[in-house]
Amino acid sequence: MAARAKTFLLCHGAWSGGWAWKKMHPLVAQAGHRLVAPTYTGLGERAHLASPAIDLDTHIQDILNVIAFEDLSDIVLLGHSYGGMVATGVADRMRERVTQLIYLDAFVPRDGQSLFDLNESGREPMRKAVADGDGYRIAPNPPPPDTPQADLDWLYARRVPMPIKCFEARLRLEHGEPAMPRSYIYCTRIPPGDVFGQFARRTKNEHGWRYFELDASHAPNVTAPQALMAVLEKIVA
């Protein structure tokens, strides 16, 4: 088991935190792997650090620091949703430490793109929500409708507003497209206005990708942890 043990390093989604992956820790450990699930500056247990200056680069640096201070290597980098933006930046700057990149129902940016470039329909409503709120953060999107009530209560108690600059900032890649093996997991219980179908189509047809589908809604770490673990095991086997 030790020879194939992997270190999964999480880049979590917007409004969320490492805490939202609570159900995955025992499953990852049971499979003989390790899950490192940090939380970005300004969110979760680090919500007291929220400020208008926080952007995508802040969150990329958060993960780079975890790699450096925890001395992680041979990393399977796992980006969920907004975390795909973060993971792409991290993989670009830590190519020698990241051996595999997995996008879970996530944004897959190219050089120079922001999240709003990849989700144009969300741009104006979110900017309006910021103007109506504290001037720099967006209130959380609702969780998927199939989330059990107990999990909804747990999520609503912990999700916090997200600095809009994280969605506006353009990703800068120093080395072009990531060169390590990449996989895309598309969650097929699709909400109206499916944002991630564009990446499913791209990664299904573009060279250098492995493509997987998961019968789950957008947050399988909460609603379908066992099914998610099965796919992750298949990818790293």
pLDDT for position 129: 83
Q: What is the chain's mean pLDDT, rounded? A: 95
pLDDT for position 206: 94
pLDDT for position 131: 77
Write out pLDDT tens, residues 49-90.
Answer: 999 999 999 999 999 999 999 999 999 999 999 999 999 999
Does residue 3 carry a pLDDT above 50? no
Write down the residue that tokens 């995955």 correspond to.
Answer: 24
pLDDT for position 79: 98
Mean pLDDT to the nearest integer, 92-101: 97
Place 2 in a pLDDT band, splitting at 50, 70 and 90. very low
Does residue 222 carry a pLDDT above 80? yes
All structural domains of the chain, each given as residue ranges with its CATH number in brackets, are 2-236 (3.40.50.1820)
pLDDT for position 191: 75
Place 4 in a pLDDT band, splitting at 50, 70 and 90. confident
pLDDT for position 227: 98
pLDDT for position 1: 39
pLDDT for position 122: 86
Does residue 113 carry a pLDDT above 50? yes
Comparing 220 with 125, the larger pLDDT belongs to 220
The residues assigned a catalytic role are 81
**Percent of the chain residues past pLDDT 70, beyond the cut:** 98
